[in-house]
Amino acid sequence: MSAGTVLAGLIVSALGLVGLMQLYGFAVLPFNLAVVDVYLTTLGAVLLFGAIAIVGLGLVIGGLATIGEREVARVSEPTIIREVVLNQPIRTVTAYAALSELDLSILQLLSQGRNEGEIASVTGVALPIISEKIARLYIGGFITEKRALTERGFEAVRHSGELPLYVNYDVQ
């Protein structure tokens, strides 16, 4: 943290000093930081940029003072506010209720190594629809870019194990 604090302090100090310099007509940057003098009096702008420079110097000094010190995170024991009693176990299947039967079938077929064309022929669904479903499964975090199932995808397939593969009976 100390090196980052020193760097942040140097940047803040530099901005404060550049603002002060631009207030007094020294063009340091190709743009004007001292635009605040339009909204503040000259004294107000000087105080503002001066305070920014001083805060930056404080960060530099604080960062230099802590170089070499180890940061220790202290974790207190968790406090139980109240207990929750469940009458029924929570079903994890409900987490995947948003997936349609076709989505789950696509995940099952992808886990078997099938490609989009094979999935389209097995399910009887048009290839563009299968491609769109696969894109949505990717966005949802169920598959990777290379069409491999993620942990979330494997969980969905595992919990849908009793469901048969989706078949489009409208296609003849």
pLDDT at 128 over 90: yes
Domain residue ranges in the chain: 2-65, 92-159
122/168 Cα distance (integer angstroms): 9
Closest CA to 107 of 150, 76, 64, 74: 150
pLDDT at residue 167 in the model: 65
Q: Residue 55 corresponds to which tokens in the numbers above?
A: 């805060």
Q: In whole angstroms, what is the distance from residue 85 CA to residue 12 CA?
A: 52
- Rounded Cα gap, residues 82 and 37, in angstroms: 55
Query: Fold for domain 92-159?
Result: Arc Repressor Mutant, subunit A (1.10.10)
For 65-106, write each residue's pLDDT tens digit. 877 777 666 766 666 666 655 555 555 444 455 788 888 888
- Find the length of the chain: 172
Type and span of the H or E element at 47: helix 42-65
pLDDT at position 3? 79
